[in-house]
Structure 1
């Protein structure tokens, strides 16, 4: 059992509500990120054909942060910047470790997460956070189109 404090969800005050939580950088964080995405999509009354890709993309971003970043925690965001898009992001403390799209061999067990993100997202990328000469972390993000 983890001794970490429960996450405090912080809703946005205007427009569509967005959600952001900080969690320990552990394997369980991907499942927690999926639940947050599903809860946000349910709040927005989005259909399952939108909800499940959003949940998969945010869990892949969280898994990558858990596997490749450093530091005790990651921040997961699920937002709806406009009626046609859902934005997901994970902030970690590895400003020099960038996501790298590659094609894994058929026998490799890992390396397909960014391919899924690429296939399901309208756009994806990353931003360094902090001063240019001394960044403290990065935000990996994706936007998904909401079908109308």
Structure 2
């Protein structure tokens, strides 16, 4: 499994970024990056676990619904009160949408989890508006100062 080493952002606010294979086997690496970043920033365990779970759901959606061989995973700290999590894939037309799974459905709960743990979440298409090459699905967690 090929992955890039985690390095802190050289300039600006604190953050980390890694490139991982778009496979379910790489999901633990994405969760680990979220946990590691939160630990390095001295955030409480409940924030660390929420970040890991949100990242796991964003990553799982990219594995299931995107295309391409890899995805970029990002964990940033844009302010003292926010943690920003994102997954970038190459499927600009496959946009996430929140739905209510019925009964014992085995899928469709990922964004419900993201919604419940995040202050806000969304997506951005990447590239020229007329011909985007990918999208970034993101979530922001609120952190008590």
Return the TM-score normalized by structure 2.
0.96
Match of 1:94 in 2: 91
For residue 124 of structure 2, give the secondary structure of its aligned residue in structure 1: strand
1:120 and 2:102 matched: no
Q: Pick from 23, 39, 43 the counterpart of residue 42 of structure 1.
A: 39
Q: Would you say how many aligned residue pairs link Structure 1 and Structure 2? A: 145
Q: Does 1:111 align with 2:135?
A: no
Equivalent residue, structure 2, for 1:57:
54
Q: Secondary structure at the match of 2:50?
A: helix
Q: Using the alignment, how far apart are the partners of 2:65 and 2:24 within structure 1?
A: 12
Using the size of structure 1 for normalisation, the TM-score is: 0.94
Provide structure 1 residue ranges, at least 5 long, that are not aligned to the other structure.
none
Alignment root-mean-square deviation, CA? 1.1
- Where does residue 29 of structure 1 map in the other structure? 26
Contact 1:29 1:63 in 2 (8 A): no
SS of aligned partner of 2:137: strand
What does residue range 128-147 of structure 1 map to in structure 2 within 5 Å?
128-147=125-144
Q: Deviations over 1:14-71 (max 9, x none)?
A: 3542000000100022211110000000100101011110110011000000000000
Answer yes or no: is 1:13 the counterpart of 2:19: no
Q: 1: distance between equivalents of 2:92 and 2:59?
A: 15
